[in-house]
Structure 1
Amino acid sequence: MYNYYFAVASRNFLINEEPIEEILRERTSYYKSINKDIDFWFISNPTFIHSPKIQDIHKKLNGSSAAIISFDKNFIQWLKLRIGFVIIGDFKSSFLIETSK
């Protein structure tokens, strides 16, 4: 099982009202500088928020949503402090999120 941590908000908020692209670009650059593998992803309309365990989060979001998912709990907590208006949480999955390099 993989432990994922997330910060989720409305898609409009994350894309248009917050500098999320800049934040994630800086984090990517930092990870490269210390030779750390990228362990976070930006996902538009994440399906995990429909899970029965976290269905209350889905109810709080109006319209389409977006999430930053990571293996790093501290990074997600930092995002909550940095961005503010996001909901954070966690979930377990037997599936590994993969990205093309």
Structure 2
Amino acid sequence: MTTYYYVAASQKFLLEEEPLEEVLKERTRHYGEQQKEIDFWLVKQPAFLEAPELVAANAQCPKPAVAIVSTNKQFITWLKLRLEFVLTGEFEAPSAAIPDPLASLVTA
């Protein structure tokens, strides 16, 4: 199993009110320069929030939701500090409750 870390918020907040696209493009450019594989994804209406172990997080997150999911805990911590008004957490996948955490993956 893999540990995934996330920030989640309303789609309106993350996709319209915050310069998230700019942040993710800069991060992608930096990874390219460092020849590092992408370890973060933008997930609209994240199904993993429906898992029984994330019921409390799901209840706190405005809908429709969007999340940035990563295997890099430091990146998610940085995003939390940068964005402030987001929900953070972590989960293990694949599991019975979360078979594919990237099922709602948004691709460029």
Query: Structure 2 length normalisation: TM-score?
Result: 0.86
> Equivalences for 1:1-101 in 2 at 5 Å?
1-94=1-94, 95=100, 97=102
3-state SS of the aligned residue for 1:37? coil
Displaced runs of 4+ in structure 1, greater than 6 A? none
What percent of counterpart residues are identical? 40
1:9 touches 1:67 (CA, 8 Å); kept in 2?
A: yes
How many angstroms apart in 1 are the aligned matches of 2:93 and 2:63? 25
Q: TM-score scaled by structure 1?
A: 0.92
Kindly provide the CA deviation profile for residues 20-46 of structure 1, in whole angstroms up to 9, marking residues without a partner as x.
100000000000000000000001000
Q: Distance in 2 between matches of 1:64 and 1:97?
A: 16
Cα distance change, pair 59–96 in 1 and its aligned pair in 2 (3 A) = closer
Q: Give the 3-state SS of the residue equivalent to 2:80 in structure 1.
A: helix
Residues in 1 aligned to 2:23 and 2:67: alpha-carbon distance in whole angstroms: 13
- Separation in 2, partners of 1:26, 1:63: 27
Counterpart-to-counterpart distance in 1, 2:61 and 2:54: 12
Question: 5+ residue gaps in structure 1?
Answer: none
Work out whether residues 9 and 87 of structure 2, in 8 Å CA contact, stay in contact via their aligned partners in 1.
Answer: yes
**Matched residue type, 1:58:** N
Q: Is the 8 A contact 1:5 1:88 kept in 2?
A: yes
Distance in 2, Cα, partners of 1:8 & 1:16? 14
- Cα RMSD for the two superposed structures: 1.9
Q: Distance in 2 between matches of 1:81 and 1:3?
A: 20
